[in-house]
Structure 1
Amino acid sequence: MTDSDATGFLYPFIESEETDAASLLTDLAASARGKAAESSRLQRESLEEYGASLTVAGTQMAERFHRGGRLYTFGNGGSSTDAATLASLFSRPARGRPIAAWSLAADNAVVTALGNDVGFELIFKRQIIAHARDRDVAIALSTSGNSDDLMTAITEARERGLLTIGFSGHDGGRMAAADDLDFCFTVRSQCIHRIQESHAMLGYRLWSVVQVHMQSLRRTITARALDGAHAI
């Protein structure tokens, strides 16, 4: 396979030996607009499909966090960076309450040690075994929904009583059929880039629901405390 064969599907007009600069810029702009429109459409449709489930999942997450639960996110390749971004959104938000959250792919020493010593398919499961409690939440991200290391970690998390959530793409893969996931949000696209963009949006919606519900829980506790003080 030549370099052109490998990248031609991204910008076919570049590989066609375009020599007119103005025409090339026009094609580039049209390509960017088309991708932005497709991304917007996919995000809108994903929200329409999963809006109610995101609210339920976010509410359950908030209740666990209110009891001291923690969030663990994990994924491979590009999805590992998405997992890190999601964990950072929860642990270091621009506003709202920080939540204890970790990306299980972030520590290179741990990941490479586990991969070398016990096998790559166990790099996330072993960390769940070491750290997770039954009040915690596990979120796995995969554009295919078929990664062995994610599925073994999800099964382990479910057995330990964690709330388990999956973000997948295409037809959902093994994630969509897994009994070990409490929620699975499948972005119905064949394009990895568009899937990951929608995963980011769905993650942000989850975070927003969590923040709103945790604020509601704090208000309820404060009101009860005041009522108790007045009764005394």
Structure 2
Amino acid sequence: MTSSESVSFGYEDVTPEEKVARVGAVFSSVAKKYDVMNDAMSVGMHRLWKDRFVARVKPREGEQILDMAGGTGDIAFRMAAQGASITVSDINQDMLDVGIERAMKRGIDGLVWSRQNAEELSFGNRFFDAYTIAFGIRNVTHIDKALAEAYRVLKFGGRFYCLEFSTTEWPGFAEIYDVYSHKLVPKIGQAIAGDADSYRYLIESIRRFPKMGEFEQMIKNAGFRHTKVEPILGGLVAIHSGWKV
């Protein structure tokens, strides 16, 4: 039995079940070229954004941190270098497999790799000191459920950090980026990953994601306090944060 509810898959409206399947197919398709494509699409800037993000999280030795949608390990590797204990979770096993392979090649030990649905985590209540998710929450079918789960698994005093694309508010830049993302990114995806459609979806998913203020309100609605939004490039990318107090 499928749901009559409608959710977005890029510019399409589909059932939740269809979105889960189609998002899974997208990331299985792009997994092996995901990081190469990130470099190509952002001209390498995604590395700086991730460095800035982890600097805001301030991972510390002895902390337990859940990195959700962290498949290829980019965020986890940075946080593990600070001494924190990291559980890397992703709904897509192909993405996790890429991350495990990268960790082995880099000689990074001690990470926990766990296939998880952000909307239904298997972890106990109040287990983690911090929850991070980078460029993943817009692909979740029910964002409110994922935020509720993030709140549940955090300890009191725990912190939530999300790095996600948003809508730039810089005049002129928004129009330039719109042309670049819709016209060129799918062509780059075809050239590098042999897959234009998946990257067309990823761009469309950015357009359908709530604006910064709307997403901050969703984080508040999940129970988080002291929420903050830090725009990058006028809001093209934003770091969202909140505390469980």
Same fold, judged at TM 0.5 (above): no
TM superposition score category, shorter chain reference = 0.3 to 0.5
TM-score by length of 2: 0.35
TM-score between the two structures when normalised by the length of structure 1: 0.37
Q: Which has the larger radius of gyration?
A: 1
Q: If each structure's helix is expressed as a fraction of its own residues, which one has the higher value?
A: 1
